[in-house]
Amino acid sequence: MSIRIFVPSDTTARSLGADQIATLIQAEALSRGIDITLVRNGSRGLLWLEPLIEIETDNGRLGFGPVTSNDVQTLFEQNFYLGQTQHTLCVGLVEQIPYLKNQQRLTFSRAGITDPLSLDDYLEHDGYTGLDNALIMTGQQIVDEVKTSGLRGRGGAAFPTGIKWQTVLDTPDEQKYIVCNADEGDSGTFADRLVMECDPFMLIEGMTIAGLAVGATQGYIYLRSEYPIAHQILTKATETAYQHGYLGSNIRGSQKHFNLEVRLGAGAYICGEETSLLDSLEGKRGLVRAKPPLPAIVGLFGKPTVVNNVLSLAAIPYILNKGGQAYADYGVGRSRGTMPIQLTGNVKYGGLVELAFGISLNKLMNDFGGGTRSGRPLKAVQVGGPLGAYLPENQWDTIIDYEAFSSEQAVLGHGGVVMFDDSVDMGDQARFAMEFCKVESCGKCTPCRIGSTRGVEVIDRIRAGERTESNWQLLEDLCETMVDGSLCAMGSMTPIPVQSVMKFFPDELRHERQE
């Protein structure tokens, strides 16, 4: 019987040599006369183990990682393909690795298990069950199920998804749209990419269900151009879905229709903001629109539009399969379901951790992350991307929950958790936050466009010891102006990391570090 060997095909694994390893495994097996079937699966999200090679055994999949091309020969010499475990890279049964075993994977339940481009694999693992249910429901019934789930936008705004869908459903128009915001640009985030590279049919299914719910017949995935592998995989998966009647006219004989296209962005961070994204999708320069009107009423090409993040839409198949209440049974307070958290920065065990809302940041960084990679003391944590606050130690017991983070003047955002050890200069981090906005601002509103430029200058004067107190007061006023006067979250949130440094690490902003 052929032995199944799994080599991940996502961006992380490929960047670490997975393609070459796959080629070497096939060549080595051929030269030794060993019958293998090599499967290019997705990543499990245990990034410190990538490339993680898995062997199918009677007891489950046995893992070896991180594997390099130099390890392939010794793996064969020690009979790894027979399930032998003496090789130093053996990590045991993958499902029993605590980092994975202790998660609550709803959205990422198939990641790393299936071949991302195999529709048969997807169907064998509960795929398209949610769509089958949705096809016999009314739009209102689907929307009600999403409301019951308590799902809130995972892109950062945390707006209730069911309410947004209800608005589009209730807005009469012959043409409506579903737009997936896949312009994942926050530093330290990669969960969207993992969805698209490891389980693309889940996103396609989620968008199709959204179309059925609100009466939209056309969808677009606005994909970050820096994700070429995701683009390839999504394009192939979409073609397969069309070929098998899961997209297009008369879906699965239901007389219902939904078309889907993948469109590439042009590398602008601001196009992760939903109205800029819509402008870009229409072929214009990505500029923020004033609201109201909301995109749910006047969106793409002036039509009612659902704009949801990848993770929000990827949660939909589970909700329509298991029921909204099954999803809502996870979580705390108003934060229901699970949150895919991305551990990055100076962390020993970086990767994806999907858990129900409610775990503390401290427990997450230590129990899963294992502390800093450098072994030095942890100094600060930035959650929610480049516009999130830098949290000092006295805030690390904050639980992962939208309201808990808000009460600490912090944001959960897209779930990126970037850790910094005590070697980081927090004054530099404050300057980086303001400079990031200066570079990425769309330029439409003055507080963001001019404020960020002046902000960098003021921080530089403070760091240089030039009229420190008066410039400190000026920076405070400037931050307040940007918060209150900016047109979108880009400008209004840029001061958050700066203000957190001013509050918790003032000495490092006042005095530039001398190396």
Is the predicted pLDDT of residue 327 greater than 80, yes or no?
yes
313 and 178 co-located in one domain: yes
Q: Write the pLDDT tens digit of every residue in 188-243.
A: 999 999 999 999 999 999 999 999 999 999 999 999 999 999 999 999 999 999 99
Domain presence at residue 107 = no
User: Domain containing 48 — which CATH number?
Assistant: 3.40.30.10
Number of independent structural domains in the chain: 4
262 and 355 co-located in one domain: no
pLDDT of residue 238: 98
134 and 84 co-located in one domain: no
The residue-averaged pLDDT of 141-149 equals 98
Domain presence at residue 112 = no
pTM of the model: 0.96
Q: Write the pLDDT tens digit of every residue in 61-118.
A: 999 999 999 999 999 999 999 999 999 999 999 999 999 999 999 999 999 999 999 9
pLDDT of residue 445: 94
Domain presence at residue 444 = yes
Is the predicted pLDDT of residue 173 greater than 80, yes or no?
yes
Is the predicted pLDDT of residue 8 greater than 90, yes or no?
yes
Burial class (CB in 10 A: 0-12, 13-18, 19+), 283: exposed
Of 264, 297, 329, which closes a domain?
329
Structural domain span for residue 81: 3-102
Of 389, 421, 453, which closes a domain?
421
Is the predicted pLDDT of residue 260 greater than 70, yes or no?
yes
pLDDT of residue 56: 97
Domain presence at residue 114 = no
79 and 173 co-located in one domain: no
Domain presence at residue 108 = no
User: Domain containing 307 — which CATH number?
Assistant: 3.40.50.11540
pLDDT of residue 267: 87
Is the predicted pLDDT of residue 30 greater than 70, yes or no?
yes
pLDDT of residue 504: 96
8 and 156 co-located in one domain: no
Of 329, 345, 375, which closes a domain?
329
The residue-averaged pLDDT of 242-265 equals 97
Look up residue 183 and give its amino acid: D
Q: Is the separation of the CB atoms in 336 and 147 below 8 Å?
A: no
List, as one string, the DSSP characters of 255-287: S--BEEEEEE--S-GGGGSHHHHHHHHTTS---
Q: Write the pLDDT tens digit of every residue in 360-373.
A: 999 999 999 999 99
Residues 6+ apart with CB under 8 A from 134: 142, 208, 209, 212, 213, 320
411 and 469 co-located in one domain: no
pLDDT of residue 512: 62
CA gap 459, 461 in Å, rounded: 5
CA gap 463, 468 in Å, rounded: 8
338 and 440 co-located in one domain: no
Domain presence at residue 111 = no
68 and 94 co-located in one domain: yes
374 and 448 co-located in one domain: no
Domain presence at residue 210 = yes
Domain presence at residue 110 = no
307 and 169 co-located in one domain: yes
For 126: left if phi > 0, alpha if psi spans -120 to 50, otherwise beta; the answer is left
The residue-averaged pLDDT of 255-272 equals 94
pLDDT of residue 1: 80
Q: Write the pLDDT tens digit of every residue in 400-420.
A: 999 999 998 889 999 999 999
User: Domain containing 338 — which CATH number?
Assistant: 3.10.20.600
pLDDT of residue 499: 96
Is the predicted pLDDT of residue 148 greater than 80, yes or no?
yes
- Beta strands 416-421 and 338-345 are parallel
197 and 61 co-located in one domain: no
Q: 474-497 burial string, b = 16+ CB within 10 Å, else e? A: bbeebbebbbeebbbbbbbbbbbb
Q: Write the pLDDT tens digit of every residue in 154-166.
A: 987 899 999 999 9
Is the predicted pLDDT of residue 359 greater than 60, yes or no?
yes
Is the predicted pLDDT of residue 515 greater than 60, yes or no?
no
325 and 350 co-located in one domain: no
User: Domain containing 481 — which CATH number?
Assistant: 1.20.1440.230
